[in-house]
């Protein structure tokens, strides 16, 4: 469960930071000369790889319910 939480947090943070980086760089953020473009292009793939974030949320919720039944 903790690994799923870490993966979920890391991929969401990477996507948000890549998006913000492109916003900060403005038009330069879309230029292939800068790393921001590559990070912005690759960030959505992190959300999909090794299980989508929606699936990670479901798995985390199931494991929390098993550990702490109401």
What residues are labeled active site? 50
Check whether 50 has a pLDDT greater than 80: no
Residue 59: predicted pLDDT: 93
For the chain, give the percent of residues with pLDDT over 70. 100
Domain boundary assignment for the chain? 2-67
**Which residues, 6 or more positions from 33, have their beta carbon under 8 angstroms from its beta carbon?**
none
How many Å apart are CA 47 and CA 65, to the nearest integer?
Answer: 24
Give the closest residue to 30 by CA, choosing from 38, 42, 20, 16.
38
CATH topology of domain 2-67: Butyryl-CoA Dehydrogenase, subunit A; domain 3 (1.20.140)
Confidence at 51, pLDDT banded by 50, 70, 90: confident
- Taking only the tens place, the pLDDT of each residue in 2-26 is 998 999 999 999 999 999 999 999 9
How many Å apart are CA 8 and CA 2, to the nearest integer?
Answer: 10
Q: What is the mean pLDDT of residues 38-53?
A: 88
């Amino acid at each position: 469960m903790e690994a799923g939480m870490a993966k979920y947090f890391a991929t969401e943070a990477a996507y948000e930071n890549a998006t913000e980086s492109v916003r900060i760089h403005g038009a330069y953020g879309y230029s292939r000369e800068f790393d921001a473009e590559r990070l912005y292009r690759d960030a959505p793939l992190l959300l999909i790889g090794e299980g989508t974030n929606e699936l990670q949320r479901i798995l985390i919720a199931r494991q929390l319910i098993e550990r702490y039944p109401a």
